[in-house]
Amino acid sequence: MAYLFTSESVSEGHPDKVADQISDALIDNFLAFDADSKVACETLVTTGQVILAGEVKSKTYLDVQQIAREVIRKIGYTKSEYMFEADSCGVLSAIHEQSQDINQGVDRASKEEQGAGDQGMMFGYATNETENYMPLALDLSHAILIELANLRRENNEIKYLRPDAKSQVTLEYSDDNKPVRIDAIVVSTQHDDFGPEAEMLAKIKKDIIEILIPRVKAKYPQYAHLFNDNITYHINPTGKFVIGGPHGDTGLTGRKIIVDTYGGKGAHGGGAFSGKDPSKVDRSAAYATRHIAKNLVAAGLCDEVLVQVSYAIGVAKPTSINVVTYGTSKVSLTDGEISKVVENVFDMRPYFIEQRLKLRNPIYSETAAYGHMGRKPETVTKTFQLPNGAPKTVTVELFTWEKLDYVDQVKAAFGI
């Protein structure tokens, strides 16, 4: 029987994402000057205020206020009428040193035996319904907001946009689990107060349908066939949306874990990513399981897969690795047998994850909006600066967990 499935995304100006981006900017700056930094940094943003809290073990000292302001400025909160503005907001830091009780469970005399930074389970998912092996509804939700942010920055075709926004896409799937059309699209965007409410809402709806959606179709032609004349559009369905961002809703690090991952497909262990250095397996093992899942599907082992790993705090070897192929496996092995082979191909001890995916580099700011998964691997050059210090320029690889660099090993291991 045909069915509907929905995923949502939020923009870089959403208050929770503002918090995520500040936390990850701090991670990047710590790692840029001390690759062995241990960081767990939380951010709260509200009207005119940023509060930083967390635990850090690092050899470097940062101007955390300046870093937070630069992130806020880059997002686009640069006007006083937003009631949250890069240069005037208060920034309070309550960051302190990491507990030695936690650190002793992670650091080891032999780096190879580095313990997991926490207990818990992490999941990675992949499906062949899109070119980047991501669930389609989430991919489209991200695409809508990425293009909306482009329109805002261009300030040409649409001039009233403000940074805060959310999107949602509902897809209809056929009996054989294939997406056939878009059933509904929801877009709520913050905007300037530029007239009577009814006129503003009519203008915004018209611009979203006639300017934004055609740009999304043009930029993502592989999805153009899913758009149709029967899509139900809900554009700013509550009415005007002038008050937004941290002034409209307090934001916290780690509150958009489903947006960050698979849009409700697969599963989630519950741990957030942003603000955590890679010794925290909530982050590093979630990236590693995505890397496994994507390479398994790309190698032709299955059409869809969920990979679970779990850890005990302070222990290097995972307590379990489990692979679920949803009955789509192309090899004559049970999912349990597939799990054992995967365990032999991918070393899931924390140190080896960090090395394999090059996670001790300042690569995290780019992950903090529009999803940590399904992004394009690329090499970039970034510049960081200490207070009263010379700039430091580093070249790093982004989204290494999205590389299809284990396809040959997977094929060899399974005889594909």
Determine the distance from the C-alpha atom of residue 157 to the mean position of all C-alpha atoms in its chain, rounded to a whole number: 28
Annotation-wise, does 165 bind a ligand? yes
pLDDT digits (tens, 9 = 90+) for 12-48: 999 999 999 999 999 999 999 999 999 999 999 999 9
Q: How far apart are CA 79 and CA 56, in angstroms?
A: 32
Helix (H, G, I), strand (E, B) or coil at 276: strand
Annotation-wise, does 55 bind a ligand? yes
Annotation-wise, does 36 bind a ligand? no
Annotation-wise, does 112 bind a ligand? no
Annotation-wise, does 199 bind a ligand? no
Annotation-wise, does 272 bind a ligand? yes
Annotation-wise, does 249 bind a ligand? yes
Annotation-wise, does 280 bind a ligand? yes
Which amino acid is it at 142?
H
Edge-to-edge order in the sheet of strand 251-252: 90-97, 49-57, 38-46, 251-252
Q: What would the mean pLDDT of 336-355 be, rounded to a whole number?
A: 97
Annotation-wise, does 340 bind a ligand? no
Contact residues for 51 (Cβ-Cβ < 8 A; gap 6+): 43, 44, 45, 92, 94
Contact residues for 101 (Cβ-Cβ < 8 A; gap 6+): none
Helix (H, G, I), strand (E, B) or coil at 174: coil
Annotation-wise, does 276 bind a ligand? yes
Q: How far apart are CA 104 and CA 118, in angstroms?
A: 12
pLDDT at position 212 is 98
Annotation-wise, does 166 bind a ligand? yes
Domain boundaries, the chain: 3-9+135-243, 120-128+278-414
Three-class SS of 333-374: CCHHHHHHHHHHHCCCCHHHHHHHHCCCCCCCHHHCCCCCCC
Annotation-wise, does 240 bind a ligand? yes
Average per-residue pLDDT in the chain?
Answer: 95
pLDDT confidence bin for 99, thresholds 50/70/90 = low
Matching fold, domains 3-9+135-243 and 120-128+278-414 = yes
The second-level CATH assignment, the architecture, of 3-9+135-243 is: 2-Layer Sandwich (3.30)
Evaluate if residue 123 carries a pLDDT over 90.
yes
Residue 88, CA atoms < 13 Å, CB-side half-sphere: 11
Q: Which fold has domain 120-128+278-414?
A: GMP Synthetase; Chain A, domain 3 (3.30.300)
Which amino acid is it at 38?
K
Q: How far apart are CA 190 and CA 205, in angstroms?
A: 13
